[in-house]
Amino acid sequence: MSDITQSLAEIVGESYVSDQPEEAYFYARDPGLMPTHEPDYVVIPKTVEEIQKIVRLANREKIPIVPMGAGMALTGLVIPLKGGIVVDMKRMTGIIEVNENARLVIVEGGTSQGLLKSHLEKNYPKLRHSIPDSPATATIAANVMIHGQGRLSQQYGFNSDMVAGLEVVLASGEVCKIGSNSISPDWFSKGAPMPDLSGLFLGWFGATGIITKVALKLYPRKKMRDVELFITDREDLIQDMVFELTHTEMVEDINIFTQPLPMIFKDNHHMAIFFTGDTDTELEFKRKMIWDSLDRFIRSKDGGFMGVSPAMKPTLLEMPQRSVSRFADVNKGGGFEYSGPIILVEKYPECARKIKELAEKYELGYSGMARIIGRGHCMMFGFAFTFNRADPDMMDRTRKALHEVSEFSLKAGGVFWKATADEQRMALDKMDPNTRALMGMIKKNIDPNGIMNPGNWEVK
C-alpha cells in the first residue's frame, strides 16, 4: 500500500479504498463518450467526518478530488481529468428527516432518486419530489449540482430551485451550512431572506465543495396521474401551444418528442402532457381545460390529440421514464448520449431542424426531447444520438455531431446544460468578462489549491 492509500484506509477502512487497476478502470469512465482518465485512488466514505478527513489529506498533499454520485450525467463530469481521488458517495444514502406538513425532506449526499421515491410512496403517500428521467440510482445531490430537471420542473423550475438547504464540506475540510439551517435548526430555505450562498456550489460540478446533505422541497402527490398526447407537424407553432397549455395552470409536465422511428412518428412532434388529480372530477376538469386550450390548433388542422392506448399509457406514465434510453439497444452494446442547451421555447423549430440535419449528416439514430421548464420560461432541448460501442467510427461520428450541437447551442442563444469540459471552456470564452472574473475569484478563494474536481470551471 502506498502512503496515501494507507492514510485513506485509516479514514474509511481498508474495504472502502482502492488503488487497484480494476477499480481504476471502472472509475475512469462514465457511460457517455468522453475520453477516459484513471483515478489514483477510489474511496467510499460513510460519514461527513470521513469526507472532511479525506479533503484535508488531499489539500495537504495537493491531490485532486472528484465527488461522484451514480456517474450518470454522461458528459464526463465524474471522470477524474487530472487523476487523484474519486469520492464515491454511494454509502451516504440516509433519508434523515421528512417534515410532512412543511413538505420538506433532508437527505444525505449520496441518496438516490429511487430511494427517496420509494420512501415517500411507502411512508408519505401525499408527498412527492421532482423525479428526473435518469436511472433510479442517480443521486439527488448530483442532480441539483448539475441543475437537473424533473417531473415537476414545468411548475416549479429546475430541481435546484427546489433545494431548501445544503451542508457542504469545503476544500478546507470545514463543514458549512447553507440556508436557513445556518441560523435555525430548520431547513426550509437555501437563501431567502438571507444572501443565497447556494450559488457558490450549485452548478459548479463539485469544483467548490462536496454536498453531504440536501434539503429538498416536496410537493402534493395526487392519487391519479394521466397523460394526453398532442401531435403536430407545425414545429413553428410549438411555442404557441406551450403558451396556451401553461396558461391553464393545469399541467404537471410537458415533454415534446421528435424522432424518426417508428415511421408514424417521422416529421411529427408529440407533446406528452401530464396532469394529476385526487378525484375523477378533478382529473376530467383538467383534461377538459387542456383540450380546450389547444382547440384552435385542432380547428385550424394544425394538430390533434392522439388516443393513448391502454398498452401505451403505463410506458408514458412510468417515472423515471425508461423509453428515453430504450431507443438505444443497450443490451446489444448500444449506447446513447444526449446533450443540449437550456434555451427559449421559441427556439424549438431551430433545435428540431438541427437534430434532424445532424442525424442525416452523420448517419445516426436520434431522438429530440424538450422538457418545458417553469411554465415556458425556457426548455431543455436534448439532442440524443445512439451509437454502437463496438463501432468506433460510429462513436466518432456521434462525437462530431455532439460538437456541432455545442456550437449550434451557443449561437442559438442557449446555455449548455451539464456542460462537458470543452463546453465549459466555450461558455467561459463567450461569457461577459466581468462575470468570468467573478467566477475565477470565487473558485480561487474557495479552493486555493485547485483540488476540487480540477479541469471543471477553470477560469484561466
Q: Which of residues 85-124 bind ligand FAD (CB under 6 A)?
A: 89, 109
Q: Does 242 bind ligand FAD (CB under 6 A)?
A: no
Minimal distance, residue 42 CB to ligand FAD, in Å? 13
Closer by beta carbon to ligand FAD, 66 or else 402: 66
Is 294 or 446 the residue whose CB approaches ligand FAD more closely?
A: 446
* Residue 34 near ligand FAD by CB under 6 A: no
**328 touching ligand FAD, by CB under 6 A:** no
Nearer to ligand FAD among residue 180 and residue 325 (C-beta): 325
Nearer to ligand FAD, 324 or 343 (CB): 324
Cβ neighbours around 243 below 10 Å, total = 14
Cβ contact 303:266 at 8 Å: no
| Sequential DSSP letters for 61-116 | HT--EEEESSS-S-SSTTS-TT-SEEEE-TT---EEEEETTTTEEEEETT-BHHHH
Does residue 67 interact with ligand FAD by CB under 6 A?
yes
Rule CB under 6 A: is residue 77 a binding residue for ligand FAD? Answer: yes
Between 105 and 283, whose beta carbon lies closer to ligand FAD?
A: 105
CB atoms closer than 10 angstroms to residue 228: 21
CB atoms within 10 A of CB 152: 20
Under rule CB under 6 A, residue 45 binds ligand FAD: no
Binding mask 199-238 for ligand FAD (x = CB under 6 A): ------xx---xx---------------------------
- The packing angle between helices 280-293 and 238-247, to 10°, is 140
Q: Which is nearer to ligand FAD, 11 or 207 (CB)?
A: 207
- Among 16-24, 60-68, 217-225, 390-398, the segment contacting ligand FAD (CB under 6 A): 60-68
Instruction: Write down the number of H helices and E strands in the chain.
Output: 15, 20
Q: Pick from 4, 34, 145, 178 the residue near ligand FAD by CB under 6 A.
A: 145
Under rule CB under 6 A, how many of the chain's residues touch ligand FAD? 34
**Strand (E) or helix (H) holding 404:** helix 392-411
Q: Which is nearer to ligand FAD, 32 or 277 (CB)?
A: 32
Q: Is 189 in the site for ligand FAD (CB under 6 A)?
A: no
Q: Which stretch binds ligand FAD (CB under 6 A): 67-75, 176-184, 185-193, 431-439?
A: 67-75
CB within 8 Å of 160: residues ≥ 6 apart: 144, 145, 147, 148, 198, 202, 203
Cβ 10 to ligand FAD, closest distance in Å?
22
Taking the least distance from each CB to ligand FAD, the nearer of 211 and 241 is: 211
Residue pair 305/230 in contact (Cβ under 8 Å)? The answer is yes
Q: CB 174: neighbour CB atoms within 10 A? A: 12
Which of the ranges 127-135, 235-243, 296-304, 357-365 carries the binding residues for ligand FAD, by CB under 6 A? 127-135
DSSP codes joined into one string, 414-439: -EESS--HHHHHHHHHHS-HHHHHHH
Which three-class secondary structure state does DSSP give residue 19?
A: coil
How far apart CA 433 and CA 442 sit, in angstroms, is 14
Contact assessment for residue 107 and residue 214, using Cβ atoms and an 8 Å cutoff: yes
68 binds ligand FAD (CB under 6 A): yes
CB nearer to ligand FAD: pick between 297 and 383: 383
CB of residue 205 vs ligand FAD: minimum separation in angstroms? Answer: 3
Q: Give which of 37, 43, 49, 53 is closest to 14, Cα–Cα.
A: 43
Among 9, 42, 104, 142, binds ligand FAD (CB under 6 A): 142
- Rounded to whole angstroms, the Cα distance separating 309 from 313 reads 6
Under the rule (CB under 6 A), what is the footprint of ligand FAD?
A: 66-74, 77-78, 89, 109, 132-135, 138-139, 141-143, 145-146, 148-150, 205-206, 210-211, 324-325, 453
